[in-house]
């Protein structure tokens, strides 16, 4: 084990060695630290700390586990003029994110319809790795989506103005989408409005606990309210964007090789490859915003058919739709100086507090949505002022795995996991039996322990807790 130095009840420091330009900071407690079976995620924190232009620290959130190059839960910021951009620091599933949809329905109104709702959602929303969308796009429409994001969905009747206001970056990041390859576009053209596989999910939930009554009311949330959470990303298009640029950078003379990990090969932000990658990443992020928006549209249709009311009267507004797996240009105060940075959040999300958040969330802060596993709970939080200094206003994005998918398949059976979920009153609809074992609750860290660290380290403050009623997995 690396020589970690405990600096608080909720944080450890990985002191600088000769290969590191900054220290590592891991937000974690003793209980979660025991989940580590090897040093690899901590080694990744150290390797990120060696990258050119890194500022302040290589940071990891309490959901830390091994990823590609960066650990999942990794946060690192680089000077925009002298630093690097790392596709491995963003990941393959660009803007894998979460949309949380409210309703004005209470649990008692929904409980006897849960199975029918999830079965109809399963019919409406393709789930699984190879399933294609019923929505057919031409090349021009796809190009518009990559450039315009949710504005395209608004113009085509799939989104409202309010949906845009409740989406990170209003659902559109400025970019030159012409750098996205034909192969990436070919992979994405039939995948809009699809859930995908792995840890992606659609979940019907209810508000089971309120921790901050004032903020909950400002978010329009109350006890026993039914919500729907969607977790998915840019699908094959984003994966191909990452593949294209990781391959190009590894084979180019411009790539900055990392002697400890070739997965961290990167390029300077100012380089031509770096700028092409950033534009392509942003285009993939726009695709992802629209993907979740089309799924939201389909969810509204299913609820309308089930309850014989339009979605407006059902109160089916988006609370918030946020991004994980991004590198974003931001300004932060470093040693009393405002600096332009490129903040990489790999399996992490933005958590800007009141006064920093803009628009309708300026008085509350942007909602921070942290899903747990499919058998326990998810949380809505808001960021803290202190955390703007500590982690560039970032939070973890989930509970984080403790078992690999292979280990989960070896340890559990679909029957045992289904029994466990049934005992908790949770209905599940999955594309394969394999995904049931891979995503079993015991494959993930204890979400309540993760939230304890997030709160204790002043990363974000809990507002409310959501528990699952039914889960749809790809």
Binding residue numbers = 93, 199-203, 231, 324-325, 371-374, 378, 397-400, 473
Q: Hey, CA dihedral for 65, 210, 219, 203, is it positive or negative?
A: positive
344 is catalytic: no
Cβ–Cβ under 8 Å, residues 428 and 436: yes
Q: Give ∠ CA 444-238-279 in degrees, rounded to 5.
A: 125
What is the residue-wise DSSP string for 261-307?
-GGG-BEETTSHHHHHHHHHHHHHHHHHHHHHHHHHHHHHHHHHHHH
Q: Give ∠ CA 364-317-109 in degrees, rounded to 5.
A: 115
Which burial class, exposed, middle or buried, applies to 167 when counting CB atoms under 10 A from its CB (0-12, 13-18, 19+)? buried
Q: Given 65, 239, 344, 397, which residue is catalytic?
A: 397
Which burial class, exposed, middle or buried, applies to 140 when counting CB atoms under 10 A from its CB (0-12, 13-18, 19+)? exposed
In whole angstroms, how large is the CA radius of gyration of the chain?
A: 21
Residue 386, CA distances (Å) to 54, 258, 324, 354, 394 in order: 21, 32, 21, 12, 11
Q: Please state the residue numbers annotated as binding site for GMP.
A: 199-203, 324-325, 371-374, 378, 397-400, 473
Q: At what angle do helices 235-251 and 272-307 cross, to 10 degrees?
A: 170
Cβ–Cβ under 8 Å, residues 329 and 344: no
Q: Which helix (H) or strand (E) holds 149?
A: none
**Separation CA 74–CA 45 (nearest Å):** 7
Q: Please state the residue numbers annotated as binding site for Mn(2+).
A: 93, 200, 231, 324
**Separation CA 270–CA 403 (nearest Å):** 39
Task: Name the residue among 98, 121, 94, 127 with its Cα closest to residue 195.
Answer: 127
- Please identify every residue annotated as catalytic: 397
């Amino acid at each position: 084990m690396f020589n970690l130095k405990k600096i608080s009840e909720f944080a450890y420091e990985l002191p600088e060695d000769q290969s590191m330009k900054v220290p590592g900071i891991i937000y974690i407690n003793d209980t979660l630290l025991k989940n580590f079976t090897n040093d690899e995620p901590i080694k990744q924190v150290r390797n990120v700390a060696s990258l050119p232009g890194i500022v302040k620290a290589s940071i990891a959130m309490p959901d830390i586990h091994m990823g590609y190059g960066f650990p999942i839960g990794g946060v690192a910021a680089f000077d925009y003029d002298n630093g690097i951009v790392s596709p491995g620091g963003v990941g393959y599933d660009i803007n894998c994110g979460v949309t949380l949809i409210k309703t004005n329905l209470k649990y008692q109104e929904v409980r006897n319809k849960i199975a029918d709702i999830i079965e109809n959602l399963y019919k409406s929303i393709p789930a699984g790795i190879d399933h294609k969308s019923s929505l057919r796009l031409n090349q021009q429409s796809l190009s518009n989506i990559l450039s315009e994001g949710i504005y395209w969905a608004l113009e085509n009747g799939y989104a409202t103005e309010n949906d845009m206001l409740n989406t990170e970056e209003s659902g559109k990041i400025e970019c030159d989408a012409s750098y996205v390859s034909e192969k990436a576009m070919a992979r994405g053209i039939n995948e809009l409005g699809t859930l995908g596989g792995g840890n992606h999910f659609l979940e019907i939930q209810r508000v089971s606990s309120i921790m901050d009554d004032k903020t909950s009311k400002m978010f329009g949330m109350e006890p026993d309210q039914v919500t729907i959470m969607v977790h998915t990303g840019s699908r094959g298009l984003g994966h191909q964007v990452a593949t294209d640029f990781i391959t190009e950078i590894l084979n180019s003379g411009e790539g900055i090789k990392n002697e400890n990990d070739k997965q961290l090969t990167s390029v300077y932000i100012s380089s031509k490859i770096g700028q092409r990658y950033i534009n392509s990443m942003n285009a993939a992020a726009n695709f992802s915003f629209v993907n979740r928006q089309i799924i939201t549209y389909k969810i509204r249709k299913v609820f309308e058919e089930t309850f014989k009311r339009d979605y407006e009267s059902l109160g089916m507004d988006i609370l918030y739709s946020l991004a994980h797996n991004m590198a974003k240009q931001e300004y932060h105060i470093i040693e009393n100086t405002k600096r332009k940075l490129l903040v990489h959040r790999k399996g992490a999300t933005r958590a800007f507090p009141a006064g920093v958040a803009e628009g309708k969330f300026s008085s509350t802060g942007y909602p921070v949505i942290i899903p747990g596993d499919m058998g326990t709970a998810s949380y809505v939080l808001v960021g803290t002022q202190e955390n703007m200094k500590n982690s560039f206003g970032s939070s973890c994005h989930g509970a984080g795995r403790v078992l690999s998918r292979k280990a989960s398949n070896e340890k559990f059976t679909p029957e045992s996991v289904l029994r466990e979920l049934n005992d908790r009153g949770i209905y599940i609809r999955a594309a394969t039996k394999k995904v049931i074992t891979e995503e079993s609750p015991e494959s993930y860290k204890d979400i309540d322990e993760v939230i304890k660290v997030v709160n204790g380290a002043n990363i974000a403050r809990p507002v409310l807790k959501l528990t699952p009623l039914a889960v749809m997995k790809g």
